[in-house]
Structure formats: structure tokens, C-alpha cells
């Protein structure tokens, strides 16, 4: 588990985004996600062009009753893409 703020750029305000960051290498992309709370899992998936920051207040309000998991898609938020990562739907079908 990464410490709060570890691996985050300085532009991410710790007071507004006070969560433990987690990272997973998936096919060469470094994918950032939050995993907060306990209980039945809630998977929070953002739209385009947002990221898990969108769910900060929801996570804070629900983590005492639910396990809130919020993923930043590759290239969004705190995730990084592999050098060959493509953004088109056709390319995503091959991942």
C-alpha cells in the first residue's frame, strides 16, 4: 500500500484527495486506483475526460459502509500509459 501522497504529482491536493494510492502494472500501463473502506464493493468508473478525483466526496461518504474502488483509466488521472497504448475503441478491443 502506498502512503498518502506517495507517487503523486504536487498538483494533487492532499486535503481534497486524502486517500491511499495503489498502482498496478497492466500490459505496460501503470494503472492508479483507490481502494477505501470495507463492506460490499462499489466499483466507481469515471467517464471521459475525468478521473477518480470525481468520486472523492462519494468515497468519503460511503467508505464506512462500502469498499469503494475507483480506477483511473490508462492516461487519465494518476495512471500512465504504456508507450504503445492506443486510445481508440478499436485498439481497446485488442487489449
pLDDT at 29: 92
Tell me what the mean pLDDT of segment 52-64 comes to.
97
Instruction: Count how many domains the chain has.
Output: 1
Look-up of cell digits 472523492: 56
**Domain span at 55:** 21-92
Domain-located, residue 3: no
Looking at residue 72, its pLDDT comes to 96
Per-residue pLDDT of 1-54, as tens digits, reads 344 445 678 899 999 999 999 999 998 999 999 999 999 999 999 988 899 999
Say if 47 falls within a structural domain: yes
CA distances from 13 to 19, 56, 57, 64 (A): 11, 12, 14, 22
CB-based contact 23:44 (threshold 8 Å): no
CA angle 3, 11, 53 (to 5 degrees): 70
Residue 10 lies in a domain: no
Q: What is the CATH number of the domain that holds 59?
A: 3.40.50.12270
Residue 52 lies in a domain: yes
Amino acid at each position: 500500500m502506498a502512503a498518502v501522497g506517495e507517487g503523486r504529482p504536487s498538483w494533487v491536493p492532499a486535503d481534497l484527495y486524502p486517500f491511499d494510492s495503489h498502482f498496478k502494472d497492466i500490459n505496460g500501463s501503470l494503472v492508479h486506483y483507490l481502494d477505501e473502506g470495507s463492506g460490499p464493493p462499489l466499483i466507481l468508473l469515471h467517464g471521459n475526460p475525468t478521473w477518480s478525483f470525481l468520486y472523492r466526496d462519494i468515497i468519503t461518504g460511503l467508505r464506512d459502509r462500502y469498499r469503494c474502488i475507483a480506477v483511473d483509466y490508462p492516461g487519465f488521472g494518476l495512471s500512465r500509459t504504456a508507450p504503445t497504448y492506443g486510445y481508440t475503441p478499436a485498439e481497446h478491443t485488442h487489449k
